């Protein structure tokens, strides 16, 4: 197997680093004086600059250096943290992404404009140099008198395996002033128990320097989160003289910056004249093994490999179905036993594969913090984004396809829904408008809602626009739900003028098409003056589902099991008696039903004892009349061909154990058809 491309690995890690920086900056918009957030953003910029320089992304390192310098000045109290600085670094972060993706592109003009914006944000106290090369770090202000510090530190055992060179840290301490170093080998194991890639040493350093305490912390900034560090000032002037009598660790020549140097701890230990200490307790190798296991808990896997594995699992499920069919027709007990074992294992493998593909919606919701921040600055509105149910998990393919539809819905809520601050105050509302993104699981579906507390949807304006566009006839009777659904028609827009956000009549129809392609549905609720809520009902997964296999005429069909509520028997007499009304009484409520035999035009006579499968989309129910219920079936979803795109009753197909094809029913469309039939019957009655 070929080793991964280091540049590709850097790009992945740079993307994660940029996401962390962006999250910190967006948190700072509400807490500008939070020192922890300022330090976190500074560390992220510092890491990105150093990694970029190591992998040859010089333009990225040079540009990032200026943002790092700006936050360093904030960190040291030289300039205050402002919303202008946050906005400038957010804009600069987009430029950093471009430098990561295309380091050789022509980004000079953009970089200079952003650097000028950054200089203005920090008060213009320091001239910003062109981003041609990595500038030298700003000198740390020196105090007038030298002070003595005792620095005790130890690094995690996997520090060298992760690229940290402790000798480099000691050299940086040496550069701050006069120091003496003592290496502690108390935890050094015997040679046979020593793991070459692990670090067993710790150090005691006495440092006399004119630099401030922050300069010592900056030496360890890359490893600050994982190490143990104790720094205290020595007020006894005799202490340094006593410590100086201990032989110091000889200076080590620095390695080139682009190539990390790994020095085995045994070699480092040999440079100090301290007697060897007893070996570590014999349980050390076991502890080391557990730490190594923890370090490899998370593994990055390309998405296409997961898709390929999912396809293989799907084929295995189909093969297992064929095996079960053969075993059930055989009298061989051994074959049945093997078939049952294979069925159990394939089911467990399928469930495990599903878990691997599931991704929390937090990865999707996190993208909108930046969008809302930018739209607030662009529109002049005060907007708060609230997210709920971020731990809800959805298939990764669903997450990828929902990104663009949710962007359209959020932009629509902000532009059409939320009022200007002065309008909200006049209406008796708080100045800040709220957009809430929420997710929850309901059976085999995930419901993702976008809710705002704005002005709501103006029904009169929607109707007027629909009539002028020819979508409906003037004065045509529509239910409230049907009227609100008109906003998803192609080319529909109620915006008075075209802006950067809306007015061109594109976007909402794309949302509907995307959601329907995911076998989902859209619900809208709106209250004048109180706000609107758009709910997307999406299936949990698009690969393998549990289905109810039924027969209609001579054909087999699959109903998603998550949508099935219950099954009833419909005799021939009841079928004949219900002709003309198509309703069944179910616990004091009337439920419309569809005769699938007539919908699919099978041309066959009904069975003597038909079955009614009651399905639901959450709020609406309809019965589906079938000839026979065969049983549950693990359904591997195969997409319909382009020739069948207009067939609305089916969402896909699957292969049965005997090699025949069964169509998967689209429950949402069938429920809509049943409700439409109910409305027509009520109107006729």
**350: Cα separation from own chain's centroid:** 23
Give the confidence band of 94 by pLDDT, cuts at 50, 70, 90: confident
- In the structure, what pLDDT confidence band is assigned to residue 598 with cuts at 50, 70 and 90? confident
CB atoms within 10 A of CB 150: 16
Which DSSP string corresponds to 350-402? HHHHHHHHEEETHHHHTTHHHHHHHHHHHH---EEEEEE-TT-EEEHHHHHHH
Phi-psi region at 601: left, alpha or beta (left = phi > 0; alpha = psi -120 to 50): left
Q: What is the DSSP string of 495-512?
A: -SS--SSS-SS-SHHHHH
Rounded Cα distance between 598 and 590, Å, is 21
- Model pLDDT, residue 297: 58
Looking at residues 472-499, what average pLDDT do you find? 74
**DSSP secondary structure string, 160-174?**
TTTT--HHHHHHHHH
Predicted confidence (pLDDT) at residue 466 exceeds the cutoff of 60: yes
pLDDT, tens digit, 9 for 90 and up, residues 171-203: 888 888 888 888 888 888 888 888 888 888 888
Per-residue confidence at 338, pLDDT binned at 50, 70, 90?
A: very high
Tokens 């009304």, residue located? 581
Lowest mean pLDDT among 83-87, 147-151, 288-292, 324-328: 288-292
For 251-306, the pLDDT digits (tens) are 333 333 333 333 333 333 333 333 333 443 343 444 344 444 444 456 667 777 88
**How far out from the chain centre does Cα 340 lie?**
38
Check residue 438 and give its pLDDT: 92
Convert the pLDDT of each residue in 211-261 to its tens digit: 888 788 877 876 776 788 888 888 754 444 333 333 343 433 333 333 333
pLDDT at 143 over 50: no
What does the alpha-carbon distance between residue 515 and residue 535 come to, in Å, rounded to a whole number? 11
Q: Are 623 and 594 in contact (CB under 8 A)?
A: yes
Across the chain, which distance is largest between two alpha carbons, in Å? 107
List C-alpha distances in Å: 52 to 134, 139, 255, 331, 650.
Answer: 11, 22, 18, 67, 51
Residue pair 643/656 in contact (Cβ under 8 Å)? The answer is no
| Least confident interval from 58-62, 85-89, 633-637 | 633-637
* Greater pLDDT, 677 or 186: 186
Whole-number pLDDT of residue 130: 41
pLDDT at 142: 43
274 and 248 in contact (C-beta within 8 Å)?
no
Contact 675, 590 (CB under 8 A): no
Backbone angles phi, psi at 481, to 5 degrees: -65, -40
Q: Do the beta carbons of residue 410 and residue 450 sit within 8 Å? A: yes
Q: Point out which residues pair with 182 in neighbouring strands.
A: 204
> Per-residue pLDDT for 22 more than 70?
yes
Half-sphere exposure of 621 (CA within 13 A, CB side): 16
Under 8 Å between Cβ of 584 and 661: no
Q: For 337, phi and psi rounded to 5 degrees?
A: -65, -45
CA atoms of 599 and 363, how far apart (whole Å): 41
More confident position, 161 or 4: 161
The sign of the torsion formed by the CA atoms of 185, 189, 195, 198 equals: negative
Tokens for 308? 């390929």
pLDDT tens by residue, 399-420: 888 888 888 888 888 888 888 8
* pLDDT score recorded for residue 545: 76
- pLDDT above 70 coverage of the chain, percent: 79
Per-residue pLDDT at 270: 33
CA 355 to each of CA 127, 317, 349, 538: distance values in angstroms, whole numbers, following the listed order: 52, 16, 10, 17
Structure tokens at 159: 């520090």
- Reported as half-sphere exposure (CB side, CA atoms, 13 A), residue 101 has a value of 9
Q: Is the model's pLDDT at 497 over the cut of 80?
A: no
Tokens of 178: 């006069």
Q: Position of tokens 């690969």? A: 543
Lowest-confidence segment of 197-211, 557-571, 572-586 by average pLDDT: 572-586
- What gap in Å lies between CA 685 and CA 680, rounded to an integer? 9
Mean of pLDDT over the chain: 76
Q: What average pLDDT does range 662-675 have in this prediction?
A: 77
Hey, what's the torsion of the CAs at 465, 470, 473, 476, to 10 degrees?
-40
Residue matched to tokens 């026979």 = 628
Please give the pLDDT value at position 437. Answer: 92
Question: Measured between alpha carbons, how far is 498 from 316 in angstroms, rounded to an integer?
Answer: 53
The pair of structure tokens assigned to 135 is: 């500038």
Q: Decide if pLDDT at 427 tops 80.
A: yes
Stretch 440-445: mean pLDDT? 74
Handedness of CA 237, 238, 241, 246 (dihedral sign): negative
Mean pLDDT in residue range 580-596: 77
Structure-block tokens of residue 543: 């690969």
Neighbouring C-beta atoms of residue 31, cutoff 10 Å: 12
Helix axes 303-328, 333-357, angle to 10 degrees: 160
**DSSP 8-state symbol, 470:** T
Q: Identify the weakest region by mean pLDDT among 181-185, 264-268, 505-509, 665-669.
A: 264-268
Report the pLDDT value the prediction gives residue 325, as an integer from 0 to 100.
Answer: 82
pLDDT for residue 233: 86
Query: What pLDDT, on the 0 to 100 scale, is given for residue 593?
Result: 82
Cα–Cα dist 633/272, whole Å: 70
Residue 529 carries which DSSP code?
Answer: T
The pTM of the whole model exceeds 0.85 = no
Report yes or no: 59 and 403 within 8 Å, Cβ to Cβ.
no
Q: What pLDDT is recorded for position 138?
A: 42
């Amino acid at each position: 197997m070929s080793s991964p491309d280091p540049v590709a690995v850097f790009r992945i890690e740079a993307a994660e680093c940029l996401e962390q920086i962006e999250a910190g900056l967006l948190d700072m918009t509400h807490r500008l004086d939070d020192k922890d957030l300022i330090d976190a953003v500074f560390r992220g910029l510092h890491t990105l600059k150093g990694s970029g320089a190591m992998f040859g992304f010089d333009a990225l390192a040079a540009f990032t250096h200026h943002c790092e310098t700006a936050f360093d000045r904030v960190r040291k109290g030289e300039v205050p943290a402002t919303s202008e600085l946050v906005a400038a670094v957010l804009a600069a972060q987009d430029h950093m992404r471009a430098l990561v993706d295309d380091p050789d592109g022509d980004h000079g003009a953009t970089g200079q404009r952003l650097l000028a914006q950054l200089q203005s944000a920090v008060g213009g106290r320091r001239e910003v140099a062109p981003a041609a090369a990595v500038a030298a770090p700003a000198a740390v202000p020196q105090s007038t008198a030298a002070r003595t510090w005792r620095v005790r530190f130890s690094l995690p055992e996997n520090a060298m395996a992760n690229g940290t060179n402790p000798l480099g840290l000691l050299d940086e301490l040496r550069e701050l002033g006069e120091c003496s170093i003592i290496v502690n080998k108390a935890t050094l194991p015997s040679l046979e128990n020593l793991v070459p890639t692990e670090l067993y040493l710790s150090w005691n350093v006495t440092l006399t320097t004119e630099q401030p305490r922050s300069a010592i912390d900056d030496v360890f900034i890359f490893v600050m989160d994982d190490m143990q560090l104790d720094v205290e000032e020595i007020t006894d002037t005799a202490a340094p003289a006593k410590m100086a009598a201990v032989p110091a660790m000889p200076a080590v020549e620095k390695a080139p910056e682009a190539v990390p140097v790994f020095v085995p701890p045994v070699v480092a230990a040999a440079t100090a004249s301290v007697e060897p200490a007893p070996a570590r307790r014999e349980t050390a190798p076991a502890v080391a093994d557990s730490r190594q296991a923890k370090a490899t808990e998370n593994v990055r896997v390309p998405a296409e490999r997961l898709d390929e594995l999912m396809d293989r699992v799907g084929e295995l499920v189909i093969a297992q179905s064929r095996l079960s069919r053969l075993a059930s027709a055989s009298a061989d007990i051994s074959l049945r036993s093997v078939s049952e074992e294979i069925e159990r294992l394939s089911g467990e493998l399928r469930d495990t594969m599903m878990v691997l593909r599931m991704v929390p919606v937090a990865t999707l919701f996190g993208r909108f913090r930046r969008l809302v921040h930018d739209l607030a600055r662009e529109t002049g509105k005060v907007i708060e984004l609230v997210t709920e149910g971020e731990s809800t998990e959805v298939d990764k393919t669903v997450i990828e396809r929902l990104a663009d539809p949710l962007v359209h819905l959020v932009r629509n809520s902000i532009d059409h829904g939320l009022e200007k601050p002065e309008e909200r105050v006049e209406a008796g509302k708080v100045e800040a408008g709220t957009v809430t993104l929420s997710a929850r699981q309901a059976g085999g579906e995930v419901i993702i809602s976008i809710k705002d507390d704005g002005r709501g949807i103006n029904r009169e304006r929607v109707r007027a626009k629909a009539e002028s566009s020819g979508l409906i006839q003037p004065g045509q009777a529509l239910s409230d739900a049907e009227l609100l659904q008109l906003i998803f028609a192609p080319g529909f827009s109620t915006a008075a003028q075209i802006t950067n956000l809306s007015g061109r009549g594109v976007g909402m129809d794309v949302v509907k098409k995307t959601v329907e392609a995911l076998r989902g549905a859209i619900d809208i609720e709106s209250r004048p003056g109180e706000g609107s809520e758009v709910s997307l009902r999406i299936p949990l997964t698009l690969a393998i589902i549990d289905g109810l296999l039924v027969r209609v005429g001579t054909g087999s069909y699959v109903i998603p099991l998550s949508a099935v509520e219950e099954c009833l028997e419909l005799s021939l007499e009841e079928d004949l008696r219900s002709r003309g009304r198509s309703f069944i009484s179910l616990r004091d409520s009337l439920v419309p039903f569809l005769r699938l035999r007539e919908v699919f035009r099978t041309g066959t006579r009904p069975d003597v004892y038909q079955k009614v499968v009651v399905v639901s989309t959450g709020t609406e129910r309809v019965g589906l009349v079938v000839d026979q219920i065969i049983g549950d079936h693990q359904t591997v979803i195969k997409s319909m061909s382009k020739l069948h795109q207009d067939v609305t009753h089916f969402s896909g197909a699957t292969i049965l154990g005997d090699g025949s094809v069964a169509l998967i029913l689209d429950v949402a469309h069938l429920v809509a058809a049943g409700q439409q039939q109910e409305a027509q019957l009520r109107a006729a009655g």
